[in-house]
Amino acid sequence: MSESATRSALARLAADLEQLESQSQLRSLDHAEGVNLCSNDYLALSRDPRLKAAVVEALQGGAALASTGSRLLSGNDPAWESLEEEFAAFVGARGALFFSSGYAANLGLLSALLRPEDLVFSDSANHASLIDGIRLSRARKVVFPHLDLNFLEDRLADSRREHCEKFIVVESLFSMEGDRASLAEIAALAEKYGAALIVDEAHATGVLGPQGRGLVAEAGVREAVLASVHTCGKALASAGAFVAGSDILKRFLVNRARTFIFSTSPPPYMAHQIRAALRLARQADDRRARLFSLADALRARLKELGFDTGRSNSQIIPVMLGSNDSALRAAEALRRAGFAIRAIRPPTVAPGTARLRISFNAGLSETDCERLIQALAGATISPHAPALRVSAQSSG
Ligand SMILES: Cc1ncc(COP(=O)(O)O)c(C=O)c1O
C-alpha cells in the first residue's frame, strides 16, 4: 500500500518536472565556472586572506565549531550577543537579532509580526522570502507595481477608513532589478498614512550608504523604520542575517519568531567571521568605488549597444530578454565565452520578463568587462545565437 502511494507521489513529482521543462523553467544544480557574474560577493571578500586569517584565529582562540542548540537552549554564545550589538550600532539601530539565513529572518520576522487583520503593502518585485513571510502571517495584502509610489499612495489613501495596523514592505536595493527604493519618499508616505515600514537591505548592506551601512542609513530614515533586514551571505561574505530595529522588536522576535526559536544557532566561529567581514566592509570604500565605476561603465556600454538594463543603478544589472528561451540561450552563449551567469526566469521574476542578471563584484577587471561586452554583442550577430539586442527605444 505504502509502496504504491510512494510510486504515485513520485509520478506526480515527475509530471511537475516535465511541465517545468516544457516551459523552459527546469533548474538543475551547476558549478559557477569562469568569470563569475552571478555571485553576490560584491566586495570580493569571500576568499580574502584577511577574512580567512580572522576565522583561523577565532578557531585557534577557542571559538566552538558548533552551537549545539537553539539560542534559547544551549546555543547562545556571547560572540553572537556582542556581534548583534556591533551590528546594531553599524546600521544605527538600537538592537539586532541574528537569524541563520536571510530567508529565515524574513519568514520569522513577518510571520511573527503581522496578524491576519493587518493590511500589508508589498512591492511586486519583493523577494520570495518577504512574500512567503507575508503569506504565512495570513495578513491582507496589497501588491503595488514595482516602486510605483503614486499607486502606493492611492491605495494607502483608500485604506484610510480601515482601522487596522498597516505595514509597507520593500527592498532597499531590489535584487532582480538592481534599482533603489526612494526610502525618504516611502518613509514620508508611511508617516502620512500611519503605516510601519519594513526594509530588506540584503543587497545594500556593505555596498551602499556611508561605510556600507545601507540605504536606511543613507536616507536618514532609521527612526521611521520598524525593522530592516541585513543578510551576511552577500557583501559580508558569510551567511545568515540580522533583523535590526528597536529593543522591543528584538525581545519580541526572541519570543515569537519561530525560525529563530526552533532552529539550531549557527556556530560561534561564524560570529567571529561576520565581525571580521563587517570590519573589512566598513573600511572598503575603495572596493565600493571600484564596484560602482565598473558597473556604471558596463551599464553605459550596454545601453549604447541597445540592451535594455531596466532601471538598474547599482552593482546588479539585468539584461532584459523577455522569453525564458532567449534568457537560457543567452546564458549558454556567455557560458561558452567563459562567464558564469544565470538566466533568471519566473517565478523569480514576472512572466515575460526573463533576463540575464549580471551581478558585479569588485574583483572583476576591466578586461573581464570588455570581454563580456564583446561576448554579449557577439551573441547578437551569431546565426545560432539568441536575438539578444532590443531596440534602442525600449531600453532605459
Ligand atoms: C532581497 C533578499 N532578501 C532575502 C534573501 C535571502 O537571504 P539568504 O540567502 O541569506 O537566505 C535574499 C537572497 O537572495 C534576497 O535577495
Does any ligand 1 atom lie closer than 6 A to the CB of residue 103? yes
Q: Do 62 and 40 lie in a common domain?
A: no
Q: Do 136 and 80 lie in a common domain?
A: yes
**Catalytic annotation present for 146:** no
Residue whose Cα lies nearest atom 8 of ligand 1: it is: 102
Question: Final residue of a domain: which of 282, 311, 327?
Answer: 282
Q: Do 334 and 254 lie in a common domain?
A: no
pLDDT in the model for residue 32: 81
- Helices then strands, each counted (H, E), the chain: 14, 12
Q: Do 267 and 292 lie in a common domain?
A: no
Distance 77 CA to ligand 1 centre (A): 25
Residues sharing a CB contact under 8 Å with residue 301, sequence separation 6 or more, in sequence order: 369, 373
Distance 242 CA to ligand 1 centre (A): 11
Q: Coil, strand or helix: which one is 121?
A: strand
Q: Do 356 and 244 lie in a common domain?
A: no
Q: Which domain holds residue 276?
A: 49-282
pLDDT in the model for residue 235: 98
Distance 172 CA to ligand 1 centre (A): 12
**Catalytic annotation present for 76:** no
pLDDT in the model for residue 305: 87
Question: Final residue of a domain: which of 257, 282, 307?
Answer: 282
Q: How many domains does the chain have?
A: 2
pLDDT in the model for residue 25: 86
Would residue 341 count as lying in a domain? Answer: yes
How far CA 143 is from CA of 119, 128, 152, 309, in Å, comes to 11, 13, 9, 24
Q: Do 147 and 296 lie in a common domain?
A: no
Does any ligand 1 atom lie closer than 6 A to the CB of residue 175? yes
Q: Do 273 and 320 lie in a common domain?
A: no
Q: Do 142 and 71 lie in a common domain?
A: yes
Q: Do 297 and 334 lie in a common domain?
A: yes
Would residue 17 count as lying in a domain? Answer: no
Q: Do 71 and 202 lie in a common domain?
A: yes
Would residue 216 count as lying in a domain? Answer: yes
pLDDT in the model for residue 388: 46
Does any ligand 1 atom lie closer than 6 A to the CB of residue 177? no
Domain with 374 in it: what CATH number? Answer: 3.90.1150.10
% helix, strand, coil for the chain, step of 5: 45, 15, 40
**Catalytic annotation present for 312:** no
Question: Final residue of a domain: which of 282, 314, 339?
Answer: 282
Would residue 391 count as lying in a domain? Answer: yes
Residue whose Cα lies nearest atom 9 of ligand 1: it is: 102
Does any ligand 1 atom lie closer than 6 A to the CB of residue 241? yes
Q: Do 272 and 260 lie in a common domain?
A: yes
pLDDT in the model for residue 170: 98
Does any ligand 1 atom lie closer than 6 A to the CB of residue 102? yes
Q: Do 97 and 191 lie in a common domain?
A: yes
Write the DSSP string, 309-372: -TT--SSEEEEEEESHHHHHHHHHHHHHTTEE--EE-TTTS-TT-EEEEEE--TT--HHHHHHH
Q: Coil, strand or helix: which one is 106?
A: helix
Would residue 7 count as lying in a domain? Answer: no
Would residue 23 count as lying in a domain? Answer: no
Would residue 190 count as lying in a domain? Answer: yes
SS3 of 241-282: EEEEECHHHHHHHHHHCHHHHCCCCCCHHHHHHHHHHHHHHH
- List the chain pLDDT tens, one digit each, 396 residues: 689 999 999 999 999 999 999 988 888 888 888 899 999 999 999 999 999 999 999 999 999 999 999 999 999 999 999 999 999 999 999 999 999 999 999 999 999 999 999 999 999 999 999 999 999 999 999 999 999 999 999 999 999 999 999 999 999 999 999 999 999 999 999 999 999 999 999 999 999 999 999 999 999 999 999 999 999 999 999 999 999 999 999 999 999 999 999 999 999 999 999 999 999 999 999 999 999 999 999 999 999 888 999 999 999 999 999 888 888 888 999 999 999 998 899 888 888 999 999 999 999 999 999 999 989 887 753 333 444 444 333 332
Would residue 186 count as lying in a domain? Answer: yes
How far CA 287 is from CA of 49, 327, 346, 365, in Å, comes to 15, 30, 32, 12
Domain with 107 in it: what CATH number? Answer: 3.40.640.10
**Catalytic annotation present for 234:** yes
Q: Give the residue, out of 101, 129, 134, 172, with the most ligand 1 atoms within 8 A of its beta carbon, to mutate for a pocket test.
A: 129
Residues sharing a CB contact under 8 Å with residue 346, sequence separation 6 or more, in sequence order: 25, 324, 353, 354
> CB-hemisphere CA count at 13 Å for 265?
27
Q: Coil, strand or helix: which one is 59?
A: helix
